Chains A and B, each alone.
Chain A
Amino acid sequence: SQQGEEDPQALSIQEGENATMNCSYKTSINNLQWYRQNSGRGLVHLILIRSNEREKHSGRLRVTLDTSKKSSSLLITASRAADTASYFCATDAGGNNRLAFGKGNQVVVIP
């Protein structure tokens, strides 16, 4: 299946630093979404970016989309301990009209 693939898989940073993670996909998309999952909990939607958009912001989150490179990045600015979570990208790539998730990025913010 054409899933998004996040990079890096794991990231450990100090509180206050920025965290950047990337997602790549293989075929054209209509939209790309980012989700957060705290340990033992369900996923929470963060941002949806459409294929005709290049950048979106939500609070301390910034998502970019480069359709020519088939990649997206999620930037968390001024990280907090509460940002410790796994982050997933999801795309409708692959032409099968399904939303497929990547394997996730584990981010640890050290107080």
Chain B
Amino acid sequence: NAGVTQTPKFQVLKTGQSMTLQCAQDMNHNSMYWYRQDPGMGLRLIYYSASEGTTDKGEVPNGYNVSRLNKREFSLRLESAAPSQTSVYFCASSEVYIGELFFGEGSRLTVL
């Protein structure tokens, strides 16, 4: 099983550009999450989808949008990238909401 797959793994953007981070899980999990990780800040929740068809804001949602495309896929969109969004982004999934989370390998984004 691949688990949680994120694409792309690396991306460099210019300020104002847009992009979408893709995430797919093959474990038939109900819940999916997007976190960002910054040095000294731990992981902060951006958005989550407790179940297919629902999405909710997390701790730091400003500047982001999400789409729960189906049960497998949960994408994160940056409409107008800013240098403050330079970070490592992690997608995760769990069978039950706030249960054991399975993480992808991360997407490293640099905004110039």
Contacts and interface: CB of A to CB of B under 8 A. Distances in A.
Interface string A20-53: 0000000000110101000011111100100000
A88 B103 contact: no
B101 A100 contact: no
Determine the main DSSP class of A at the interface with B. Answer: loop
A88 B45 contact: no
A100 B59 contact: yes
For the complex of A and B, 8 pairs with smallest distance between CB atoms = A42-B103, A103-B42, A101-B43, A43-B103, A45-B100, A99-B98, A42-B105, A101-B42
A31 B33 CA distance: 18
Interface string A37-72: 000111111001000000000000000000000000
B105 A43 contact: no
B101 A45 contact: yes
5 contacts: A30-B98, A42-B4, A45-B101, A100-B59, A101-B35
Interface residues of A, number: 24
B2 interface: no
B82 to A, nearest CB: 22
Interface string B64-83: 00000000000000000000
B3 to A, nearest CB: 9
Interface string B36-66: 0000111111001000000000110000000
B108 to A, nearest CB: 9
Contact of B90 (A43, A102, A103): A43
B98 A92 contact: yes
Nearest to B6: A42
A99 B99 CA distance: 9
B98 A31 contact: yes
Counting chain A CB atoms within 10 Å of each CB, the highest count among B92, B101, B106 belongs to B101
Contacts of A30: 98
A104 B98 contact: no
Contacts of A104: 42
